[in-house]
């Protein structure tokens, strides 16, 4: 079965973390139709909502995979608000269909725990230019075992008591476990089934497949693991004769690792692809697997005892001896290769610039902007990228929590986006204020006063 290409085209946040309202458009239908990639970078001062967008998408992936909310998920809800809402717009393009789907989830703190309180799924048939239709909406804590709209529920039930029970059980399990109802294990069986509306079934199947096989989310937690040089999470995706492998292979940097045979067989060809690009951006460097032979795992299955080493000519050292920036590049490169070649790949990275030389980073993004087929969404502080990708691919945060994300206005084709942004930070000129005033004299005085408090 050939799966559809799914692309995220819009993200809307309401009362999520420090965002009262924010909307980001970072994908275009025409780019997908022309088999072009989409890149969107998010810039702004510290604490202005960049990581909130990444967290919303990371949480989205967890829910689409049928997983529960993480610990302390109530911290996603804006201080003083009752609930948080995230709406994501997907374009789903198959051989014989083309839809836009809108999936919305609402978080609420109930019974001393944050839970998925409500879900909605809507769609529009692009080929037939139809109006937006509500396909599913349900409050998981409304006390009844139905969902809306009523005609969709009646069609699903079709006088079958078994289906009534199946839905009631799925809803109860999702409410108790803090998962999505639509994409939980029990819910997925219902809403992807043959007796469900065909369009809803297509949307649920393809969006879940996208989250499982095509969506990579690299959060600050992953960056922290790399910076501590505790382990390296190598993002892999590869096609073989029977299937597509996608996932993360965690390899220890502190000592040798024993990994399952399946992981070993995925790691070796992945490093081959990584090295082709790595040698072009870090001259003469390769990453190799030092294989110490087969070893049984605790479950009795066959594994390999390995260590990752950096090779530069005749000099070979453990990969942990390299900088955090190099280790991060190695971790990301296989996913970037997939982004370059596969229109269905979606790579989401928080603080892409962390630890990476700005000139190299700018050149990497320039190549991806011009040639990649997939979708990249990232946050960054390094302004070099503003000079290497188009202005339409850059969004900025503001100091206004009621309108967190904007594009720059009054930017002509000949303008340098970096210079325009820096000028806007200093003297304004945009519809929203992009940064709180930062006075160097106040900073200097604050240091002097702090020094007196410490008696230095």
In tens, the pLDDT along 194-211 reads 777 889 999 999 999 999
Mean pLDDT of 348-362: 90
Q: Determine the straight-line distance between the first and last CA of the chain, rounded to whole angstroms.
A: 70
Looking at the DSSP bridge assignments, the partners of residue 16 are 19, 77
Average pLDDT, the chain: 88
Give, in words, the CATH class of 1-219+350-455.
alpha beta
pTM over 0.75: yes
pLDDT computed for residue 238 by the predictor: 63
Q: Which residues of 63-89 are buried (b: 16+ CB within 10 A; e: fewer)?
A: bbebbbbeeebbebbbeeeebbbbbbb
242 band by pLDDT with thresholds 50, 70 and 90: very low
221 band by pLDDT with thresholds 50, 70 and 90: confident
pLDDT computed for residue 241 by the predictor: 39
22-70 pLDDT per residue, tens: 999 987 778 777 778 999 999 999 889 999 999 999 999 999 999 999 9
* 75 vs 34: which has the higher pLDDT: 75
Neighbour count for residue 104 (Cβ, 10 Å): 17
Contact of 131 with 124, CB cutoff 8 Å: yes
DSSP E strands in 383-443: the ranges are 394-397, 405-406
Q: Is 354 helix (H, G, I), strand (E, B) or coil?
A: coil
243 pLDDT more than 50: no
Domain with CATH 3.40.50 in the chain: 1-219+350-455
Residues 6 or more apart from 248 whose CB is under 8 A from it? 233, 234, 235, 236
* 349 vs 355: which has the higher pLDDT: 349
Looking at the DSSP bridge assignments, the partners of residue 346 are 215, 375
pLDDT computed for residue 266 by the predictor: 86
Between 229-238, 248-257, 414-423, the lowest mean confidence (pLDDT) is in 229-238
244 pLDDT more than 60: no
Residue 123 C-beta-side C-alpha neighbours within 13 Å? 23
Helix (H) or strand (E) holding 71: none
- Nearest-5° Cα angle at 248, 18 to 85: 25
pLDDT computed for residue 121 by the predictor: 96
């Amino acid at each position: 079965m050939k799966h559809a290409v799914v692309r995220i085209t819009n993200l809307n946040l309401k009362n999520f973390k420090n965002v009262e309202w924010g909307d980001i458009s970072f994908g275009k239908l025409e780019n997908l139709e022309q088999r072009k990639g989409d890149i969107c970078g998010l810039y702004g001062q510290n604490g202005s909502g960049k990581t909130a967008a990444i967290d919303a998408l990371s949480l989205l992936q967890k829910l689409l995979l049928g997983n529960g909310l993480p610990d302390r998920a109530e911290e996603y809800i804006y201080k003083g608000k009752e609930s948080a809402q995230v709406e994501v717009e997907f374009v789903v393009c198959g051989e014989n269909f083309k839809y836009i789907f809108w999936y919305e989830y609402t978080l609420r703190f109930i019974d001393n725990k944050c839970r998925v309180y409500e879900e909605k799924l809507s769609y529009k048939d692009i080929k037939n230019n139809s109006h937006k239709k509500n396909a599913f909406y349900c409050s998981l804590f409304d006390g009844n075992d139905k969902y809306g709209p009523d005609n969709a529920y009646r069609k699903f039930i079709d006088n079958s008591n078994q289906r009534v029970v199946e839905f009631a059980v799925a809803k109860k399990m999702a409410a108790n476990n803090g998962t999505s109802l639509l994409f939980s294990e029990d819910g997925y069986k219902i809403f992807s089934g043959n007796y469900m509306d065909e369009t809803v079934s297509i949307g649920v199947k393809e969006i879940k497949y996208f989250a499982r096989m095509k969506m990579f989310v690299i959060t600050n937690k992953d960056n922290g693991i790399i910076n501590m040089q505790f382990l390296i999470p190598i993002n892999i995706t590869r096609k073989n004769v029977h299937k597509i492998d996608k996932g993360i292979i965690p390899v220890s940097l502190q000592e040798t690792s024993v990994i399952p045979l399946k992981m070993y067989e995925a790691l070796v060809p992945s490093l081959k692809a990584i090295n082709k690009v790595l040698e072009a951006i870090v001259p003469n460097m390769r990453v190799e697997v030092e294989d110490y032979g087969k070893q049984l795992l605790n479950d009795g299955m066959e594994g390999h005892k390995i260590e990752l080493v950096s090779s530069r000519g005749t000099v070979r050292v453990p990969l942990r001896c390299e900088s955090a920036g190099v280790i991060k590049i190695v971790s990301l490169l296989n996913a970037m290769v997939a982004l370059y070649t596969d229109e269905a790949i979606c790579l989401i990275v928080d603080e892409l610039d962390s630890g990476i030389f700005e000139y190299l980073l700018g050149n990497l993004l320039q190549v991806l902007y011009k040639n990649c087929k997939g979708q990249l969404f990232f946050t960054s502080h390094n302004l070099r990228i503003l000079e290497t990708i188009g202005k339409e691919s850059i969004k900025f945060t503001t100091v206004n929590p009621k309108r967190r994300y904007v594009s720059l206005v009054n930017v002509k084709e000949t303008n340098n986006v970096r210079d325009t942004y820096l000028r806007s930070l200093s003297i304004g000129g945009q519809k929203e204020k992009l940064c709180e005033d930062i006075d160097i004299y106040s900073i200097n005085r604050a240091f002097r006063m702090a020094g007196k408090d410490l008696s230095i």
